[in-house]
Structures are given as structure tokens and as C-alpha cells.
Amino acid sequence: MEYVMFTSLEEAKENGIEKVREDVYSLWQECFGDSDAYTDFYFEWVVPYNRIYTLYKGDKLCSMLHLNPYTLEVKGNEVKSDYIVGVATRKEERRKGYMGLLIERALQSMYEEGKPFTYLMPAAEAIYYPYDFRKVYTQENWVRKMRETALKESGKEKENRLLRLTVPDKNNRRILTEFAENRLRQEYDVYALRSRKYYEKLLIEVSSTNGGIALVFKKDKLIGYAAYMKDDGLQLSECIYDLAYREEVLSKLYHEFSSCLKEKEEGFEPAIMVRIINLKAFFSSLRSKKDISIVIEAKDDRIPDNNGIFRLDISESGCNVTNTEDSPMLRGDIGDLALLFFGKLGEEEIKERIVSGDKNSVFEAISEIQLYRRLFLNEIV
């Protein structure tokens, strides 16, 4: 039986799949094992605003992929991006290439929309590596940091106050939003833009796991917070603090939650992989400390329009991208370029990809580019 692919729940319904939402709900529970409460949160707070790609054989849902929209702050610029989640295939339909078909279709759609890059949190890097996703961020182990800090600061506890945020508490949600946005803007190159709505959604999400958001105050000043989940021992999904009060925040959180803390599973580190989508759009967001020009040859086996030789004229105000027939200075596939511009290649690795000109001079020019080294992407869905 041939498969049919749909690029939204609406399209599936228009083509006679009346129970597509119920099918997606069922496959989500089957593949991810989330509680009813968490699954209900996702379908109430996320599904109405995302795009779900589905693959059917007859009236049977075989595979799905979700694109969850986020506005990212990238070096001070707002960038629309899609966070890929919910990639799942029914057990008896696996190893038939369905996941790959959905990924390829989603990549093409995002390219046509001009999205510079997409990202996901993989169950295993090897699954997505062939699709040119590359690991650029590993979540901090805040539980370990809390424990180590508390041991070091034992006997030095300060009189700080911990408050658990509630949905009706709009004033502290406003204070939290302003605090987080200020800290993230100062310390990171790439992060999800924060708003009061963002924190309302995050609070509902962690509450569905019996967790919450804990705010740490020094007198009346917010100095840090943690979003935590408690469905299987306490785990921190993110922790942000004023660097001047790092030890105080981590110690306060540890003493509050020490009885139910859970380390990350051995061998598993929540990580983010990125995939450049529309290469010209990605290049256009680059900035450099001084005016430079470089010529790059790119190779992309899955998005044909990303192939070619591009001249980049980069300055503090932006990057002008043009196709050229000039000889490339640097050559790389789309995965290499992600690692390069997210700051994951060392000097020798960069020089290996330089194919013309003086390698030291080209490397110095590349070194002027403001790379996306400092990431903070911890969203679950």
C-alpha cells in the first residue's frame, strides 16, 4: 500500500483523515511514554500553534514530525526558527525510510520559508547526523553544580528567600521575564526570546510534571531562578542567575530540593543539534568586527539550492551574499559550515577546509566573524 504525506493536521482532515489529531495523540503516547498530564499540556499549549507532518498508509498513521515555532534572539537580532520535536514512527513501520521522508519534506518547506536554521534535541546524535544536523550545545548539569556549590558553601548560607511562581502571579512573572531577558542578552549569542507568555507556558509545562518555577530573591531583588520537573525525581530544565550571586542561588536551590534531586542519566546529556536550512539567509545574519570578504563553496546533498560558491562581504552592520564564479577560499559541506559558524571547529580544523590563498590570512579573516559560540537552548518542546 502506498503512503500519503500531509504537511499539517488541516491538510490531513481535508483529505479525509478526520481523526488525525487523535491519531497523533495516540502515537505520541505510544512512542514517548509521557504522562497523560504532560501530553495534555502539549496538545493544549503547543499543537494549536505548530505544524505536524504525518505519513499515512490508508487510514493508519505510520510516522510523524512536529515543527514548533520559536523566535530566537541571535546576536541581538530576532530570527524565526522551527524546533523539531515529536519525530516518531509506529514500531511495526520502522526501518522503512518514513522518518527520512518527513525530515526531507520539512527541510524543503523551511528552506522555502527562508528559515536560516532549525534545531532539535536528539535521542541519539547518530539518527540525525546523516541529515547534516550537528551538535552545537550541551545542557549544563545544574544538579551537579548545585551539589558541588552547596558542599563548598556549607555553613555560609545567606538569608535569601525562595518563592514558587504561580500562574495568577503576573507581577513576579513580569519581573522574571525582565530578569531572564537581561541575563541572556548579556551572556549568550543564541537563545529563545523570553516573554510573559513564554513563562506562563513554561510554568504550565513543568507543573504538568508536578514541578514548577522557583525564584530566589535577595531581599526584594530577584537574583536567580530554576524551572524544575518532578515526575521522576527532581530535574532542572533550566537555571539562570546573576553571576554575582551564583553561589547563593545554587546553594538556596540545593537546600530547598536536596531530598529529591536526580542527576542526569549516566551517558545521556541533553544536547542540541542544528541544521542550516536556507544558507543565504543564514549567511545574511553574520556580523564581523571589521570589514572582510571571503568566498565559500558549499555542498548540500539534501537542499540543492544551498550548493554553490558564495561571496560574503561582512561588516558590523550585516552580510551581503552573492553568487560568484571566483575561486573559493574555503570549502565545506553544510554540516561543516554549521560547526564553523557555531564555533565548534578549532584552528587546524578550519585550516583543513581552506583551499586557496594564504591559510593564515584566510583564517585571520574568518576569526573576525562573530560566531554563535554561546548558546542557551533548553526547551523540551
From first to last of its 381 residues, what are the pLDDT tens digits of the chain?
A: 799 999 999 999 999 999 999 999 999 999 999 999 999 999 999 999 999 999 999 999 999 999 999 999 999 999 999 999 999 999 999 999 999 999 999 999 999 999 999 999 999 999 999 999 999 999 999 999 999 998 887 766 678 999 999 999 999 999 999 999 999 999 999 999 999 999 999 999 999 999 999 999 999 999 999 999 998 888 899 999 999 999 999 999 999 998 887 665 555 679 999 999 999 999 999 999 899 999 999 999 999 999 999 999 999 999 999 999 999 999 999 999 999 999 999 999 999 999 999 999 999 999 999 999 999 999 999
Residue 157: per-residue pLDDT? 67
Q: What residue ranges define each of the domains in the chain, with the CATH number in brackets?
A: 3-115 (3.40.630.30), 142-267 (3.40.630.30), 275-367 (3.30.1050.10)
Residue 368: per-residue pLDDT? 97
Residue 79: per-residue pLDDT? 96
Q: Amino acid identity of 161?
A: R
C-alpha neighbours within 13 Å on the C-beta side of residue 193: 15
List of residues 6+ apart from 4 with CB closer than 8 A: 15, 55, 56, 57
Give the residue ranges of DSSP H helices in 195-304: 196-207, 246-257, 279-284
Residue 375: per-residue pLDDT? 98
3-state DSSP call for residue 156? coil
Residue 269: per-residue pLDDT? 78
Rg for the chain (alpha carbons), in Å?
23
**Rounded CA gap, 268 and 143, in Å?**
14
Residue 233: per-residue pLDDT? 82
At how many degrees (to 10) do helices 142-152 and 246-257 cross?
100
Residue 265: per-residue pLDDT? 52
